[in-house]
Copies of this chain bind each other. A is one copy, B any other.
Amino acid sequence: MTSSSDSRIYVALVHYPVTDKNGDTIAAAVTNLDLHDIARACITYGVQGYYVVTPLKDQMTLVSRIVAHWTTGAGGVYNPKRREALERIRIKADFKSAVDEIEKKEACKPKTVVTSAREQSGSVPYLYLREMLKEPKPFLLVFGTAWGLTDEFMTEADYRLAPLKGVGGYNHFSVRSAVSITLDRLVGER
Contact, CB under 8 Å: A4 / B187: no
> Per-position contact with B for A161-188: 1 when CB-CB < 8 Å, else 0?
0001111101111101100110111011
Residue pair B170, A44 in contact (C-beta under 8 Å) = yes
List residues of chain B with CB within 8 A of the CB of A177. Answer: 37, 40-41, 176-177, 180
A65 within 8 A of B: no
Q: Among B40, B171, B188, which residue has its beta carbon within 8 angstroms of that of A174? A: B40
Size category, A interface: 35 or more
Contact B37 A174 (CB under 8 A): yes
A118 at the B interface (CB under 8 A): no
B187 & A46 in contact (Cβ 8 Å cutoff): no
> Given A181-B180, A181-B184, are A189 and B165 neighbors across the interface (CB < 8 Å)?
yes
- List B contacts of A170 (CB < 8 A): 4, 43-44, 81, 84-85
Write the nearest CB–CB distance from A112 to chain B, whole angstroms: 21
Nearest-neighbour CB distance to chain B for A162, whole angstroms, equals: 10
**Cα–Cα, bound, A4→B180 (Å):** 22
B167 touches A1 (CB 8 A): yes
Which of B2, B166, B189 contacts A187 (CB under 8 A)?
A: B166
Q: A77 to chain B: closest CB distance in Å?
A: 13
Q: Which residues of B contact A171 (CB under 8 A)?
A: 44
The chain A residues found within 8 Å of chain B, CB to CB, are 1-4, 7, 33, 36-37, 40-41, 43-46, 81-82, 84-85, 164-168, 170-174, 176-177, 180-181, 183-185, 187-189
**Which 10 residue pairs spanning A and B have beta carbons closest together?**
A44-B166, A177-B180, A4-B168, A46-B167, A45-B166, A37-B174, A165-B189, A181-B184, A81-B172, A43-B170
